Amino acid sequence: MKNKKSIIIYVALIAGIVIVLNALSGKYFFRLDFTADKRYTLSKATKEIMRSVEDPVTVTAYFTKDLPPAIQSIKTDFKDMLVEYNNVSKGNLVFEFISPNDDEEVEQEIAQMGIAPQIVNMREKDQVVQKKVYLAAVIKYGEKQEIIPLILPGSAMEYSLSTSIKKLIVNDKPVIGFITGHGESTTSAMAQAMQSLNVLYDVEEVNISDTVMLEQYKSLAMVAPKDTLNDYELALLDNYLANGGNLYLAINRVEGDFNNASGFETGTGIEEWLAKKGITVENKFIVDANCGTVSVRQQQGFFTMTTQVNFPYLPTIVNFSEHPASKGLESVILQFASPITFNGDTTLKFEPLAYTSEKSGTLSVPLYFDIQKKWTNTDFPMANIPVAAAIEGSFAGNTNARMVVVSDGDFAINGEGQQMRQLNPDNVNLMVNAIDWLSDDTGLIDLRTKGITNRPLDQVEDGKKAFLKYLNFLLPVLLIIVYGIFRNRNNKLKEIKRMQENYIK
């Protein structure tokens, strides 16, 4: 009777604890994050944004019901993130989940917003069927709204959500001026970069020779100038920096002509202006064993074959510093880059952002591109050559200013019309991150490259690859064997105890 009463007490106690925990979980939410990049931990920037929200932000998440397990995790992660946003904002973010597949009117409504379903293959009753799947969200703040048309696994969910909310709550966005008048790339030729920049900034093209107040621009950017800047324009840039302005420069010091298979020096006067500040963009080509390829046509009898050949003049950059402008980047493809060096004084802080590989080198101009050349290790005697750098300090006067210099003017240009091309995402991220570091102090820069890190197995050493393969296969088996041995030993000990004369059950 006593034992029965104790059991009832224990059951009642456990039930009470469960009820209390459920009640607390509705008010408090936390999770442990053991990922390397703290993917499931809200950043300081997000917390500051949500604490600054004065009126309710409404998030309507459009997710299809009964998603496949691989996609269901996206919905779970997004919902958990919204709960955390709600907690940080002290209830100023409210959300709901709707399955558009259940209502044709809802489907038509969100289609007008630009939200389209994704077609995925699903297995139902031993058959593969195609199903329309929605993974989107609409964020509203007052009369304004932002749309996230597609939420993908591995994408920077927090960046998409935080920047959308930031865009809604900010009334006056900082203005970024893209300098024109010297053959620079236009903003329309940088479609991918503009798509990202327009979230937090107003972007304008500006001719600094005109009578304009450069101080109105949070930062100025000059991308791939071709014509020479005169002394008056360079003096305007000096004055802009002296007043605390920020400058982004992506310039070509060398050029390549594929038609003539030749490389030559180019200049606009900006390189001499930089040299006076101790920043040298050398008139040399960087070559790197880790590089892109070019298409080469070869005649094989009656047939013309097109093959891809490594071209060391197109370095693929995979070494980046932990600077905010380059942190989290994985691969940037450059075209005809040059070394950047610094010999200025201590009034400026020079920090390289991106480097070549351990097998790289430089070649002087002019030169001839020999596509058929067999490159060897002796052609790459150098390592870790800076190709992009951040400079901070007093360029003139006593006011602190910032500058980013990249020794390839074309790496983030999409082109226009039929010449338009899709860029490697990190090419765009390097440019936008750099401008963010110059212009934005909210910390959202750290979120753009936050997400699943790409760790391809083809870059893992064979020994380590074999170790991981056998570990993955044998570890579960070993755990079962160890458990079996432990249990067998435990049973034997119990059996020995039962055989003792003074054993009491």
Q: Which residue has the higher pLDDT, 62 or 126?
A: 62
Specify whether domain 31-168 bears CATH 1.10.357.10: no
pLDDT classification of 30: cutoffs 50, 70, 90: low
User: What does the pLDDT read at residue 42?
Assistant: 78
**Which of 392-396, 476-480, 494-498 has the highest average model confidence (pLDDT)?**
392-396
Contacts (Cβ under 8 Å, ≥6 apart) of 221:
176, 177, 178, 179, 247, 248, 249, 250, 435
Neighbouring residues of 451: CB distance < 8 A, sequence distance ≥ 6: 37, 39, 154, 155, 156, 157
Give residue 451's pLDDT band: very low, low, confident or very high (50, 70, 90): low
Give the pLDDT mean for 122-133.
76
Dump pLDDT digits (tens) for 466-486: 776 667 777 777 888 888 888
Average pLDDT over residues 88-108: 91
What is the DSSP annotation of 397-448? TT--EEEEEES-SSTT---SGGG--PPPHHHHHHHHHHHHHHH--SSGGGGT
Q: What is the mean pLDDT of residues 18-45?
A: 60
Return d(Cα 74, Cα 152) in angstroms, integer: 7
pLDDT at residue 22 is higher than 70: no
For the chain, the average pLDDT equals 85
3-state secondary structure of 495: helix
Residue percentage of the chain with pLDDT more than 90:
51
* C-alpha 405: how far from chain center: 20
- With a cut of 80, say whether residue 14 has pLDDT above it: no
Task: For domain 172-286+316-452, give the fold.
Answer: Rossmann fold (3.40.50)
DSSP string, 235-277: HHHHHHHHTT-EEEEE--SEEEETTTTEEEE---SHHHHHHTT
Domain-wise residue ranges, the chain: 1-28, 31-168, 172-286+316-452, 461-505
Residue 149, pLDDT > 70, answer yes
The predicted model gives 26-46 an average pLDDT of 61
**Mind listing the pLDDT tens digit for each residue in 313-362?**
999 999 999 998 998 899 999 999 999 999 988 889 999 999 999 999 99
Tell me the mean pLDDT in the region 93-114. Answer: 91
pLDDT for 460 equals 53
| pLDDT-based confidence at residue 452 (cuts at 50, 70, 90) | very low
| pLDDT (0 to 100) of residue 155 | 54
Lowest mean pLDDT among 86-90, 202-206, 372-376, 469-473: 469-473
- What's the number of CA atoms in the CB half-sphere (13 Å) around residue 133? 21
- pLDDT above 80: residue 249: yes
